[in-house]
Amino acid sequence: MIEFQDVHKSFGARTVLDGFTLAIPDGQTTVLMGFSGSGKSVTLKHIVGLLEPDAGRVLVDGESVGELEYDGLMRLRSRIGFVFQFAALFDSLSVYDNLALGLRRQELPPEEISRRVAESLRLVELSGAEDRFPAELSGGMRKRVGIARAIALNPRYILYDEPTTGLDPVTTAAMDELMLRARRELGVTSVVVTHDVRSAFAVADRIAFLHQGRILLAGTAGEVRETADPLVRAFIEGRPAMGERV
Amino acid sequence: MSGVREFFVLSGRWVIEGRRALSQGKIWRPLLFAQMRKLGVDSIPVAVFVAVFTGIVLALLSSYMFTRAIPLYFVGTLVTKAVMLELGPVLTGMALAGRVGANVAAELGTMRVTEQVDALETLAISPHAYLVTPRVIAAILMFPVVTAVAMAVGVLSGWFTAVNLLDLSSVEFLRGARQFYNFKDIWFGLVKSASFGGVVATMGCFQGLSARGGAEGVGHATTRAVVLGCQAILVLDAFWALVLL
């Protein structure tokens, strides 16, 4: 389980998280929605220890991420797959090596690495792309390789940072299906950060709405869809909200 | 004062990360050879280019200074001493600060702004072990090799100029080169160049990994890496002269 307990985070004078509290249950897909710049990606980075809170705690499986020693942090990260907004593939490595890099770090035998790479690419429907390089791939394909790289680790958790940003509607739907399949076939707990409302409702078991540094609303996808909160309604329906700066 | 404090905090963090990264040989050792080729072997042409013209200018300058003052065979002395003790290591270091420092800063800076460095960390791979350590060790090992080539080419270039453009024979040039020769001239230059390699690569990695803000940020990081690398070379040059000479 992932828990945020009264997390505060600022960058200079700008407060991003201001008493952020949220519990993410195991085995489900939790979507974190909010306006652009509301701190969604910052939230994700706290889970893997890329950022540390100024106050409060982030717990993963009962361990406080900020208090982990180096080895403990490395063990935590090997349980979490992170899918970056623009995939963050390593330019100088082939698709195969992009997926194998993390597996070699775990000192798996070469045959096991090959098997996991092949299986992960099959899951994202990119079998046969092992020898290609990121520059040769389309944006959608790069995102799928990013998902494959996360899946190959056999993680307990997968974090998705804006997985459908910049994709056309058909590819977006395919990405949604991928995230659903990853959860079905691997049984992972997923945290998806997005402002794509359609995609959010397609993949979410639970939705939390982040606003001004804290959770404004959290509930099942159905509960959030029926909410009367004017800000959340405006966001879901894609119309200007009173008092919100663009 | 907060900037100074931040510098020391960051430097301390780098020392700790660097020590830890050094112990992770399984990560950086497979990458070392490729970096040695990229930072060292591929830098030889630019070092040779600098050395050729260094030798030419030294021979002509010394001839200008020594004619009708002291015997011309001292051209061999000056060319050899200056190339091995100072101009070989320093000018080669400066040229490589531009080539290697900029290359490293641009590559790592681009990785930083495209979240590839974050991706390494989420894969439980230390960026210091994977990116910094192989580059720094490769530069420390290969800068002396490149400098040795540059020294040889610089002396040869000076000899060629002296024999073909000045009123000097090869025997006289060699007499001057051997007159005050000391093996220390060579190892002093190579020790300096090893330190130059370490500082150029470290500066490039530090600036690259500190890049923020997209292409402009990478550009700033690259510029800073080259400028600070050159400045560090000059400071180290003075340091080694004080300590070893």
Instruction: Enumerate the domain spans of chain A.
Output: 92-154
B-chain CB neighbours of A48 within 8 Å are: 121-122
- Structure-model confidence comparison of residues A1 and B7, the more confident one: A1
Which of A186, A188, A180, A185 lies closest to A164, judged by CA? A180
CB A75 within 8 A of CB A30: no
Residue type, A4: F
Q: Which ipTM did the prediction report?
A: 0.91
CB A8 within 8 A of CB A55: yes
B24–chain A Cβ distance below 8 A for any pair: no
What is the rounded distance in angstroms from the CA atom of residue B151 to the CA atom of residue B170?
18
Give the pLDDT confidence of B12-37 residue by residue, as tens digits.
Answer: 888 899 999 999 999 999 999 999 99
Identify the pLDDT of residue B245: 82
What pLDDT band is residue B1 in, cutting at 50, 70 and 90?
low
CB A24 within 8 A of CB A17: no
Residue type, B241: A
Strands A29-34 and A189-194: parallel
Has residue B60 got a pLDDT over 60? yes
Tokens of A59: 């717990």
A-chain CB neighbours of B111 within 8 Å are: 90-91
What is the rounded distance in angstroms from the CA atom of residue A155 to the CA atom of residue A145?
16
CA dihedral of residues B5, B8, B12, B18 (deg, nearest 10) = 130
Identify the pLDDT of residue A106: 86
Tell me phi and psi for residue A193, to 5 degrees: -100, 125
Give the pLDDT confidence of B219-238 residue by residue, as tens digits.
Answer: 999 999 999 999 999 999 99
B-chain CB neighbours of A89 within 8 Å are: 116, 119
Compare CB distances from A50 to B114, B116, B118 and report the shortest one's residue. B118
| CA of A184 vs chain B CAs: smallest distance (Å) | 23
What is the rounded distance in angstroms from the CA atom of residue B3 to the CA atom of residue B5?
5
Which residue, chain included where needed, has tokens 């194998």?
A: A100
Chain A residue closest to B17 (CA)? A70
Q: Describe chain A by its helix, strand, coil percentages, rounded to 5.
A: 40, 25, 35
56-85 of B, contacting A, C-beta below 8 A: none
A-chain CB neighbours of B106 within 8 Å are: none
CA-based Rg of chain A, rounded to a whole angstrom? 18
Q: Are B121 and A102 inside 8 Å of each other by CB? A: no
Has residue B6 got a pLDDT over 80? no
Tell me phi and psi for residue A213, to 5 degrees: 85, 0
Q: Are A84 and B123 inside 8 Å of each other by CB? A: no
Give the pLDDT confidence of A193-221 residue by residue, as tens digits.
Answer: 998 999 999 999 999 999 988 999 999 99
Tokens of B138: 């490769």
Q: Which residues of chain A have pLDDT under 50?
A: 245-246
A-chain CB neighbours of B121 within 8 Å are: 48-50, 77
Tokens of B166: 């000045």
111-130 of B, contacting A, C-beta below 8 A: 111, 114-116, 118-125
In B72-90, which positions are buried (b, 16+ CB within 10 angstroms) versus exposed (e)?
bbbbbbbbbbbbbbbbbbb
Question: What's the average model confidence in pLDDT over B81-100?
Answer: 95
Sign of the alpha-carbon dihedral angle for B75, B76, B79, B84:
negative
Q: Are A101 and B123 inside 8 Å of each other by CB? A: yes
What is the rounded distance in angstroms from the CA atom of residue A153 to the CA atom of residue A98?
12
Identify the pLDDT of residue A205: 94
Compare CB distances from B116 to A45, A88, A105 and report the shortest one's residue. A88
A-chain CB neighbours of B110 within 8 Å are: 91
Give the pLDDT confidence of B180-202 residue by residue, as tens digits.
Answer: 888 899 999 999 999 999 999 99
What is the rounded distance in angstroms from the CA atom of residue A150 to the CA atom of residue A158?
7
Which of B160, B147, B153 lies closest to B60, judged by CA? B160
What is the rounded distance in angstroms from the CA atom of residue B41 to the CA atom of residue A139?
36
Residue type, B70: I
Q: Are B119 and A82 inside 8 Å of each other by CB? A: yes
Tokens of A24: 């993410």
What is the rounded distance in angstroms from the CA atom of residue B86 to the CA atom of residue B68?
26
Tell me phi and psi for residue A22, to 5 degrees: -160, 140
CB B87 within 8 A of CB B54: yes
Q: Are B115 and A85 inside 8 Å of each other by CB? A: yes
Give the pLDDT confidence of A20-34 residue by residue, as tens digits.
Answer: 999 999 999 999 999
CA-based angle B221:B225:B228, to the nearest 5? 130
CB atoms inside a 10 Å sphere around CB B36: 19
Secondary structure letter of residue A241 according to DSSP: P
Identify the pLDDT of residue A241: 67
Numbered residues of chain A with Cβ closer than 8 Å to any chain B Cβ: 45, 48-50, 70, 74-75, 77-78, 80-82, 84-86, 88-91, 101-102, 105-107, 149, 153
Average model confidence (pLDDT) across chain B: 93
What is the rounded distance in angstroms from the CA atom of residue A159 to the CA atom of residue A41?
10
Q: Are B121 and A48 inside 8 Å of each other by CB? A: yes
Sign of the alpha-carbon dihedral angle for B11, B12, B14, B18:
positive
Give the pLDDT confidence of B122-170 residue by residue, as tens digits.
Answer: 999 999 999 999 999 999 999 999 999 999 999 999 999 999 998 889 9
B-chain CB neighbours of A74 within 8 Å are: 124
Identify the pLDDT of residue B68: 80
